[in-house]
């Protein structure tokens, strides 16, 4: 699209959305993101447990995207895709520990240029060279909330972008005092949510009893409930400061989590399936974004930044690869195409409404335990799932559905061509992980 046409469309969209709300009013941006959060473990996405009253309140007051997908089920690549609106092949953060190029356009840098004070409070991945933030602070979830409240008070009279990134639901599943017994207080078995237990289950292919599996899931859910209480504190402070309804609030995650869905696996980095790629996504801005709307179309996490900028009336950099979701928020019927995800330089997968197709030409099977590279996550050379009949992606139909495979393979080939994705070229690239950083990340449990 020509730049002039894009600008005209953008201006029209903004005018439609901002009508009657007073464009002179200052709009802050608050992104609340939670590491490793599966949408189907939230009440607003249909979960039966009471894990998420604060997050559910955002959903009631805002618009929920029911089918949003990350570009990689790994923290650094996925967060970089959210913040730069580009696929990992483009921004270059194809695994944890890599840094963005200085010239990579990023959301915070754009907002900083528009006079926003940008502050990031991150419980994971603070070492990344996030651009455009005048402060990036590494805090665990509870002190992160304390500091967020302080920041909201400090910044209340300025135009600000506050990014909060919580980490509790990330493994190990060891919720704080008061949250561990929330969902199965009667459990008396031997299983816990420690890293050692989760690794042993994967390594030894342990067949868990329903009660043991339920216990692990309950611990994960307890971590979500804990984070939800932290988010409630943030929302309460925004309300107390009179900022809640004047701020654009975006809620999302960097990826989900395999909870024993495939390969006896509790984690996300090896997965290419809905369990780990599907993310929650919602936008709240009363008077502009419809309350209580729930949208089906497939959207990608690279769409988040362009949507934010359009809602704030700021033009997105041309380097952004995502689509603004404003037309969908306005109730228009727009097909933005399928969702793509990469597994570094080995695997590409595409997700349509009906199918997931996995293209793994090197028959790469990722490992996730540093001490046990022989323990791998099995992914076939080609996989096809009929998601309407098989949402758990358990029955590979690739061999029996050559027409569907052919069609989706064409989609992947088109994507590969468009973004110049190359198979098995990562090691040849000059992306070097800083050795000191690598050491400190390894000490934290990162696997390279």
Positions in the binding site for Ca ion (CB under 5 A): 223
Nearest approach in angstroms of CB 173 to Ca ion is: 6
Pairing outcome for strands 160-166 and 266-267: unpaired
56 interface partner picked from Zn ion, Ca ion, none, CB below 5 to 8 A per type: none
Nearest approach in angstroms of CB 167 to Ca ion is: 7
Q: Which is nearer to Zn ion, 160 or 166 (CB)?
A: 166
Nearest approach in angstroms of CB 174 to Ca ion is: 6
Nearest approach in angstroms of CB 35 to Ca ion is: 9
CB burial of 174-199 (b: ≥16 within 10 Å; e: otherwise) equals ebeeebbebbbeebeeebbbeeebbb
301 interface partner picked from Ca ion, Zn ion, none, CB below 5 to 8 A per type: none
Nearest approach in angstroms of CB 160 to Zn ion is: 25
- Residue 263 falls in which region: left (phi positive, over 0), alpha (psi -120 to 50) or beta: left
254 interface partner picked from Ca ion, Zn ion, none, CB below 5 to 8 A per type: Zn ion
CA 143-57-253 angle, to 5 degrees, is: 55
Give the closest residue to 73 by CA, choosing from 308, 254, 238, 340. 254
d(CA 233, CA 187): 30
Nearest approach in angstroms of CB 120 to Ca ion is: 20
35 interface partner picked from Ca ion, Zn ion, none, CB below 5 to 8 A per type: Zn ion
Q: Which is nearer to Ca ion, 223 or 228 (CB)?
A: 223
Q: Which is nearer to Zn ion, 243 or 304 (CB)?
A: 304
75 interface partner picked from Zn ion, Ca ion, none, CB below 5 to 8 A per type: Zn ion
Q: Which is nearer to Ca ion, 167 or 238 (CB)?
A: 167
Nearest approach in angstroms of CB 75 to Zn ion is: 3
Q: Which is nearer to Zn ion, 254 or 393 (CB)?
A: 254
CA 24-28-29 angle, to 5 degrees, is: 135
| Residue 172: cis peptide before it, omega within 30 degrees of 0 | yes
Q: Which is nearer to Ca ion, 223 or 237 (CB)?
A: 223
Q: Which is nearer to Zn ion, 70 or 339 (CB)?
A: 70
d(CA 289, CA 283): 7
d(CA 198, CA 208): 11
Own/partner pairs, 182-189, CB within 8 angstroms, 24+ separation: 182/218, 182/221, 182/222, 182/225, 183/49, 183/217, 183/218, 183/221, 183/222, 184/214, 184/215, 184/218, 187/211, 187/214, 187/215, 187/218, 189/215
Q: Which is nearer to Ca ion, 61 or 223 (CB)?
A: 223
Q: What residue ranges bind Zn ion (CB under 5 A)?
A: 35, 75, 254
Q: Which is nearer to Ca ion, 115 or 176 (CB)?
A: 176
Nearest approach in angstroms of CB 255 to Zn ion is: 5
Nearest approach in angstroms of CB 32 to Ca ion is: 17
Q: What CA–CA distances, in Å, run from 16 to 54, 63, 288, 315, 334? A: 29, 17, 9, 16, 17
> Both tokens of residue 104?
């990579």
Question: Edge-to-edge strand order for the sheet containing 135-138?
Answer: 135-138, 117-122, 160-166, 28-34, 247-253, 278-284, 63-69, 293-300
Q: Which is nearer to Zn ion, 14 or 219 (CB)?
A: 219
d(CA 300, CA 306): 11
Chain position whose Cβ is nearest to Zn ion: 75
d(CA 20, CA 292): 20
Nearest approach in angstroms of CB 227 to Ca ion is: 10
């Amino acid at each position: 699209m020509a730049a002039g046409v894009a600008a005209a469309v953008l201006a029209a969209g903004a005018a439609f959305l901002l009508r009657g709300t007073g464009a002179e009013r200052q709009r802050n941006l608050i992104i609340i993101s939670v590491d490793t959060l599966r949408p189907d473990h939230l009440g607003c996405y249909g979960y039966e447990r009471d894990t998420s009253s604060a997050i559910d309140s955002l959903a009631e007051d805002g618009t929920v995207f029911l089918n949003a997908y990350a570009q990689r089920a790994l923290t650094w690549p996925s967060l970089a895709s959210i913040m730069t609106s580009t696929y990992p092949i483009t921004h270059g953060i194809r695994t944890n520990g890599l840094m963005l190029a200085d010239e990579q356009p990023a959301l915070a840098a754009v907002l900083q240029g528009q006079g926003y004070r940008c502050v990031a409070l991150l419980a994971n991945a603070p070492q990344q060279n996030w651009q455009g933030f005048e402060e990036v602070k590494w805090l665990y979830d509870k002190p992160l909330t304390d500091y967020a409240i302080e920041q909201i008070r400090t910044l209340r009279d300025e135009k600000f972008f506050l990014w909060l990134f919580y980490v509790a639901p990330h493994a190990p599943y060891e919720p704080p005092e008061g949250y561990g017994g929330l969902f199965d207080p009667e459990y008396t078995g031997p299983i816990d949510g420690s890293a050692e237990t989760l690794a042993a289950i994967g390594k030894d292919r342990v067949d868990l009893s329903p009660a043991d599996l339920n216990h692990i899931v309950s611990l994960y859910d307890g971590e979500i409930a804990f984070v939800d209480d932290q988010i409630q504190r943030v929302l309460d402070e925004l309300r107390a400061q009179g900022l809640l309804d004047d701020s654009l609030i975006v809620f999302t995650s960097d990826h989900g989590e395999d909870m024993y869905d495939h390969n006896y696996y509790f984690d996300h980095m090896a997965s290419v399936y809905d369990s780990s790629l599907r993310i929650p996504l919602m936008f709240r801005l009363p008077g502009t974004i419809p309350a209580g709307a729930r949208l089906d179309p497939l959207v990608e996490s690279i769409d988040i930044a362009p949507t934010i900028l359009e809602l704030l009336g700021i033009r997105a950099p041309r380097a952004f690869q995502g689509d603004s979701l404003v037309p969908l928020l306005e109730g228009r019927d727009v097909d933005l195409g399928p969702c793509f995800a990469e597994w570094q330089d080995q695997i590409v997968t595409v997700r349509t409404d009906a199918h997931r197709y996995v293209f793994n030409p090197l028959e790469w099977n990722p490992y996730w335990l540093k001490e046990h590279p022989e323990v791998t996550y099995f992914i076939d050379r080609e996989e096809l799932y009929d998601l309407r009949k098989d949402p758990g992606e358990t029955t590979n139909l690739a061999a029996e559905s050559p027409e569907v495979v052919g069609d989706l393979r064409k989609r992947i080939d088109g994507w590969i061509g468009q973004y110049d994705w190359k198979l098995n070229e990562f090691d040849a690239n000059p992306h070097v992980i800083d050795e000191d950083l690598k050491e400190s990340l390894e000490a934290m449990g990162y696997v390279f």
